Amino acid sequence: MPKESNILVALSMLTVLLGTVAVYWPGLDGPFLLDDYLNIVGTYVADFDKDEIIYAVTHNQSGVFGRQVSVLSLLFSGIVHGPEAWGYKYHNLAIHLLNGLLIFWLLLKLLVRISPQTDKIKIIYISGLTAAIWLLHPLMVSTVLYSVQRMAQLSTFFILLGLLFFMVAREESKNGGIKYYLLAYLFFPLCVLLSVLSKENGALIPLYVFILELIIYHFSFSSIAQRNRILCFNVLFVAVPVIAGTLYLFTHMESLADFSVRNFTMGERLLTQLPVVAVYLKMILLPRLSDMGLFHDYFEVTRNFDLVTGFLLLVLILAIYLILHLRFKAPVISFAIAWFIVSHLLESTFFNLELMFEHRNYLASVGPLFGMVYYLFHIPNYPYLKYISVFFLLLVAFQTSMRVNEWSSEEMIYQIAITDHPDSSRAQTQMANFKFRAGDIDGSLQHLAMAQQNDPRDYGAVLHEIVHRCGSGSDMAPLLEKASLRAQSYPVSVYSLNVLDNLLLFLSENRCPEMDYERLLSIIAIAKQQPGNQKYEMYMGFLEKIEGQIYLLTGDYGKGIGSSLSAYEKTGMIRVLAFLVENLLQLNFLEDAEYILSLMNEANIKSRGTETALIKPLQDKLEKAKAAAAIETESVLGNDDLGPEIRRED
């Protein structure tokens, strides 16, 4: 390619990157949202404190493996830029730009293999436009500007990098030199590991490699030596991981298939994912801002197999058939379909996850966008259709600019969500919180009433209303009865547990005279008897943690310690014991606090010091309390010694 063309390509990509920065920049001032508070605000580390960093990295509850790479990245953002949301979003944007460049590079290499007869300039245009549309697509806003979705971004980064290492390694496999072995047996598996530890989607890399072999390389080799090298690689990094993953699924199916705390079964989730994935595809190829949002809990669960579901299932079967049937005749179509389907195999199938989130398309959207742009450049007799892709780029850039403006304001995010989807309970509860913080109690209660109407199962919104009515003199009896009926009929949710925690906080701070501990205990007792909760030890443990705190606050120390220890056994979370120690220190039960701390130290030794950051402050508090108690004792003894002298003076 002429040098001038290289310069033109570099300038074009630089323009796209700068345009992406310009479009996203206003959104960097946006707020933390939802899971950001647990994963970022709640684990913020101000400087490079080894114990605090180790604790944060080893105690994230996201996913199966804890996503340590993502946690480290988020900790780094906080240390460099402070606790405000801007720094986290700034780094998210930087990773988004890097991912766009990797997509451009990956597509260049794919097109050279898929369509070697295509002009090199056209290959660059197709790859560049696809990457540009992906970078500026409005569907990506809820990943880039939602700080905690760093996890999805980093997983994508290492997936793309790993696939590029694989493709270069495959080219080098003809010779089998040191470069091949470094790429195939060091850099590729390292990317797999880093991707899985960023988010579990990294486990899909073997399947991405398989579709590259199936559609791009067709399992073709130039020599027996190359065949043996590629066969060995595929056995180690494709076949073995797929078999191991399948065995894991079969041996853990009982927990994976436990939908007792959901309002849908595994079968209903599978049925619902058919229309969900169809909506995803529509949002990618026919984007409309009113379809997009932070909240998708309004999506209706498909309870029965009907005509629409049957049609969508046939479409899925046809899509799988086309992957195999067109891999030689129309490899771009085959690849686009396969990429999209593989990208959704974890989050849009039978796993016990929520029904719908936009960030699940962060990598999946590459396939459909690539297919669209490629064929706009290759429709015979209609060369001008390629300019539709340029128009599409301008359209999505404008939509993204509009959406970024929405995401720069917390109130605007919630208000637009409610306007577009008033049946979203989460949008209503988040707006209620916003109104409450602003002092608009009546407004918050209106939104909570809507949330209760939208979701008649979850009693979180009912308890939430009690919290917002605290101090108003309201009669809480009707709300308590409503909450009790729901707690008896339906499992607890993370939302309900959080509100129970908040309500307990209000009671302990004497901010809710209309409530008392006995009423709160009655709700927890009902929840503990609910069959769905009894199947889910983690939720039972959290209920017992709150129960234990109430007993300690009301003076029933035996039950308080018993419930707290039981909660620790069920959750395995040493933080539960930390709450107990805090309460015991406040009550001046120093011997009991010292005993619980000894249990924590034993657990810390077993976990190789990962709990040090949690234990050390409690240990310091205990030592100070013991020292204070010793001084008080000495003071009393001193008064006894002086007593006779004072009496003699009398």
Per-residue pLDDT, 4: 58
Give the whole-angstrom CA distance, residue 413 versus residue 30: 10
Give the whole-angstrom CA distance, residue 99 versus residue 82: 25
| Model pLDDT for residues 15-37, shown as the tens digit of each residue | 999 999 999 999 999 999 989 98
**Range 168-190 average pLDDT:** 93
Per-residue pLDDT, 423: 93
DSSP symbol at 351: S
Give the whole-angstrom CA distance, residue 43 versus residue 45: 6
Per-residue pLDDT, 51: 85
Alpha-carbon dihedral angle through residues 426, 428, 429, 435, given to the nearest 10 degrees: 150
pLDDT, mean over the chain: 90
- The three-point CA angle 455-461-462 to 5° equals 105
The CA R_g of the chain, rounded to the nearest whole Å, is 29
- Who contacts 627 (Cβ-Cβ below 8 Å, separation ≥6)? none
Nearest to 88 by CA among 150, 141, 44, 10: 150
Phi-psi region of 538 (alpha: psi -120 to 50; beta: other; left: phi over 0): alpha
Per-residue pLDDT, 86: 96
Per-residue pLDDT, 50: 86
Chain centroid, CA 127 distance in Å: 29
**Range 613-634 average pLDDT:** 85
Per-residue pLDDT, 1: 54
In 10 A of CB 72, how many CB atoms? 16
Give the whole-angstrom CA distance, residue 57 versus residue 52: 9
In 10 A of CB 217, how many CB atoms? 14
% of the chain surpassing 90 pLDDT: 69
| Model pLDDT for residues 51-66, shown as the tens digit of each residue | 888 888 888 878 778 8
Nearest to 191 by CA among 171, 220, 167, 221: 167
Per-residue pLDDT, 635: 54
3-state secondary structure of 609: coil
**Is the pLDDT at 260 greater than 80, yes or no?**
no
**Is the pLDDT at 648 greater than 60, yes or no?**
no
Per-residue pLDDT, 3: 64
**Is the pLDDT at 636 greater than 50, yes or no?**
no
**Is the pLDDT at 650 greater than 80, yes or no?**
no
Residue with tokens 């919630």: 414
Per-residue pLDDT, 277: 96
Residue 643: which pLDDT band, with cuts at 50, 70 and 90?
Answer: very low
Per-residue pLDDT, 43: 86
Residue with tokens 């990094």: 237
| Model pLDDT for residues 223-244, shown as the tens digit of each residue | 999 999 999 999 999 999 999 9
Contact present, 216 and 331 (Cβ < 8 Å): yes
**Is the pLDDT at 68 greater than 60, yes or no?**
yes
Q: Which amino acid belongs to residue 360?
A: R
Per-residue pLDDT, 163: 97
| Model pLDDT for residues 404-432, shown as the tens digit of each residue | 999 999 999 999 999 999 999 999 999 99
Per-residue pLDDT, 252: 79
Per-residue pLDDT, 649: 36
% of the chain surpassing 70 pLDDT: 96
Give the whole-angstrom CA distance, residue 448 versus residue 433: 9
Alpha-carbon dihedral angle through residues 223, 229, 231, 234, given to the nearest 10 degrees: -140
Per-residue pLDDT, 462: 94
**Is the pLDDT at 647 greater than 50, yes or no?**
no
DSSP symbol at 30: P
Per-residue pLDDT, 637: 42
**Is the pLDDT at 382 greater than 80, yes or no?**
no
